[in-house]
């Protein structure tokens, strides 16, 4: 399997810092091993709680593009002239029939994902580090391999959940990876500015940015952008 373009970008940027350059190679071997265990597996994603990043790896299947198209259909609707009209996002209300109808369309309109498996990644104190997700084109594809997949990824097999993401929504989260890194870099830059201007440690500056953003009800990245722009004037 190969990383989607946004994941490749994220991994490249992480390699420019202090991250192990062998990470991509290790993830590639992992996905290849998964395909050996479950030949019908066409996608793997790994989400981490601390960074908010999701990495996604996929086979070169046109079915995945069709899944993306269904999600785009849910996000916007063309008018008669062909321009895109903004539509309300899918509701978080589990009783919203329109949301379920559109998601049902995604699951049934293509000969695509028939089974998924989500396994949590745990710290030694059993707090959740993240999740690893597997997607296959065959029903019940992972039923006999949960233990081996969990061992392969260092995940917690008893917490495995089947068919929680038949639309491969984690792939869309992975597409946001570069933007998440941009926001993190802005916060790091704003932390340095705050530390220097106020004469405090970077740790204290980071704490103050987090606290100030929470009190004001804005995202830390938005506050960071404001601080950076103020220094450019």
The 10s digit of each residue's pLDDT in 192-222 is: 999 999 999 999 999 999 999 999 999 999 9
Q: What is the pLDDT of residues 126-150, one digit of tens each?
A: 789 999 999 999 999 999 999 999 9
pLDDT band at 105 (very low <50, low <70, confident <90, very high): very low
Contact 45, 27 (CB under 8 A): no
pLDDT at res. 70: 57
The pair of three-digit structure tokens given for residue 211, joined into one six-digit string? 């606290």
Q: Return the higher-pLDDT residue of 99 and 151.
A: 151
pLDDT, residue 214, reads 94
Domain boundaries, the chain: 2-61+112-175, 179-232
CATH of region 179-232, choose from 1.10.10, 2.115.10, 3.40.50, 1.10.3470: 1.10.10
C-alpha distances (whole Å) from 126 to each of 45, 130, 154, 158, 162 are: 21, 11, 13, 12, 21
Q: Report d(CA 191, CA 194) in Å as an integer.
A: 5
Q: What are phi and psi of 59, to 5 degrees?
A: -80, 170
Of residues 79 and 185, the one with the higher pLDDT is: 185
- To the nearest whole percent, how much of the chain has pLDDT over 90? 54
The reported pLDDT for the residue numbered 148 is: 94
pLDDT surpassing 50 at residue 110 = no
For 12-46, write each residue's pLDDT tens digit: 888 877 655 566 678 888 888 999 999 999 999 99
Confidence of residue 83 (pLDDT cuts 50, 70, 90): very low
- Checking if the pLDDT of 54 tops 90, the result is yes
CA distance 195 to 182: 20
Residue whose tokens read 């704490």: 207
Q: Which residues contact 93 (CB under 8 A, 6 or more apart)?
A: 99
pLDDT, position 69: 63
Task: Report the SS3 class of residue 55.
Answer: strand
**What sections of 60-218 are H helices per DSSP?**
62-75, 97-108, 146-153, 169-175, 177-198, 202-216
**Token duo for residue 125:** 């104190």
Question: Rounded to whole angstroms, how far apart are CA atoms 71 and 171?
Answer: 11
Confidence of residue 65 (pLDDT cuts 50, 70, 90): low
**Mean of all residue pLDDT scores within the chain:** 80
């Amino acid at each position: 399997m190969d990383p989607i373009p946004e994941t490749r970008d994220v991994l490249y940027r992480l390699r420019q810092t202090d991250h192990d350059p062998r990470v991509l190679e290790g993830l590639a071997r992992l996905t290849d091993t998964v395909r050996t265990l479950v030949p019908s597996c066409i996608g793997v994603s790994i989400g981490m709680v601390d960074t908010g990043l999701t990495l996604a790896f996929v086979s070169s299947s046109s079915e995945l593009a069709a899944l993306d198209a269904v999600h785009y259909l849910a996000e916007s609707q063309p008018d008669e002239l062909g321009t895109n009209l903004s539509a309300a996002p899918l509701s978080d209300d589990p009783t919203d029939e329109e949301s379920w109808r559109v998601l049902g369309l995604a699951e049934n309109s293509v000969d695509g994902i028939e089974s998924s498996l989500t396994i949590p990644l745990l710290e030694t104190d059993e707090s959740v580090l993240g999740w690893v997700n597997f997607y296959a084109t065959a029903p019940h594809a992972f039923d006999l391999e949960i233990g081996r997949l969990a061992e392969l990824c260092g995940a917690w097999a008893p917490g495995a959940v089947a068919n929680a993401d038949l639309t491969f929504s984690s792939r869309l989260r992975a597409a946001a990876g570069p933007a998440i890194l941009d926001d993190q870099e802005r916060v790091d830059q704003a932390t340095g500015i705050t530390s220097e201007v106020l004469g405090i440690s970077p740790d204290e500056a980071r704490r103050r940015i987090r606290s100030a953003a929470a009190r004001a009800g804005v995202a830390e990245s938005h506050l960071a952008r404001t601080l950076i722009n103020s220094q450019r004037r």
